[in-house]
Amino acid sequence: MSGEPDLVAAVEQAVRAPSVHNTQPWRWRIHGRGVELYADPHRHLPATDPERRDLVLSCGAALHHLRVVLAAAGHATRVERTPDPDRSDLLARIELVDGEPDPADAELFPAIAERRTERRRMSHRPVPPDVIERLAAQAQRRGALLVPVTAGPMRARLDRALAEAEAAQAKVPGYAAELARWTHRFAGARDGVDPRTVAAVPPGLPGRWPLRRFTEAALRQPQQVPAHAVPDDAAEFLVVVTAGDDVVDRLRAGEATSAVLLAATREGLATTPLSQGIEVESTRTAIRRDVLRIPETPQLIIRVGWPATYATTLPRTPRRSVDAVLMTG
């Protein structure tokens, strides 16, 4: 084991994890040589995420980020998920233990600072199958599976499910206001979706644009390569699935998502977590039954691909200060 850990600094890096609409729906309590992770109910999106799926999954991603940070600092950890049945907001307890840190987690650490959510079109270059296999192995190590949605009929069925989810959410009372609230934050806010990270739908793209439609987009799409007649996009769609669907399953799905995103970043890939199709019960069922045709539960869709040739560097999305997420007492 390395020297005494700086757990405040570790949490400060862990909150770089992605979260639905960048709500950062987590709180942390440091106690001795451990950290407790709590869900923050005040940052729940009731219209978008009525079952708190996104909230728990976001916290799972932050949990894995913390383990990556601690492993890179030379610390082994033990995690107890949902440790107190009387505290539903207490999602995990992370304890430092004697032993060697997980090298698979430690090697992902540099990607925390590099990862961004890519909402522009991606390159026409396909992602090699062996890269997809390495990403799937990352998910499996964290208790989930990663199921690719290949081109052709399977992808067409997924596109239909995403379109149906978008249409269904548009009719949910409060959804539009909730979306506007988290995409039009007050000046100086360190949360929400920054319009500088959102691009308008690229013109001439074959098929339907699969990403959530935000109300404001200030990011330009990459310049089209002259040799290409249309702005093609060879991004792959990978679905994180779990055997069950309780809080622990959703936490593990978040941990697997974190591992896949960081591993993809290390491979040089761009990534986009897509939760909209899973937030609606009917389309989540359709993705499980009609798209994937598996008994497991879909928890999140991840879009991965090579950055487009002329894509500019994405800005770093702001995060709240560590003081704002630490609990005292």
Query: Which pLDDT score, from 0 to 100, does residue 151 have?
Result: 73
Grouping H, G, I as helix, E, B as strand and the rest as coil, residue 234 is coil
Rounded CA-CA distance 313/296 in Å is 36
Distance CA 16, CA 21 (A): 13
Question: In sequence order, what DSSP letters do the residues of 185-205 get, joined into one string?
Answer: PPTT-SSS--GGG-BPPPTT-
Q: Give kind and range of the element (H or E) at residue 38.
A: strand 34-39
pLDDT in tens, the chain (329 residues): 456 789 999 999 999 999 999 999 999 999 989 999 999 999 999 999 999 999 999 999 999 999 999 999 999 999 999 999 999 999 999 999 999 999 999 999 999 999 999 999 999 899 999 999 999 999 999 999 999 998 789 999 999 999 999 999 999 999 999 999 999 888 788 999 999 999 999 887 777 899 999 988 999 999 887 766 665 789 999 999 999 999 999 999 999 999 999 999 999 999 999 999 999 999 999 999 999 999 999 999 999 999 999 999 999 999 999 999 999 86
Q: Which pLDDT score, from 0 to 100, does residue 329 have?
A: 67
Residue 233 has a pLDDT of 86
**Which amino acid, residue 148?**
P
Q: Distance between CA atoms of 280 and 164, rounded to whole angstroms? A: 9
Specify the pLDDT at position 328.
84
3-class SS at 302?
strand
Q: CA 296 to CA 18: how far, in whole Å?
A: 24
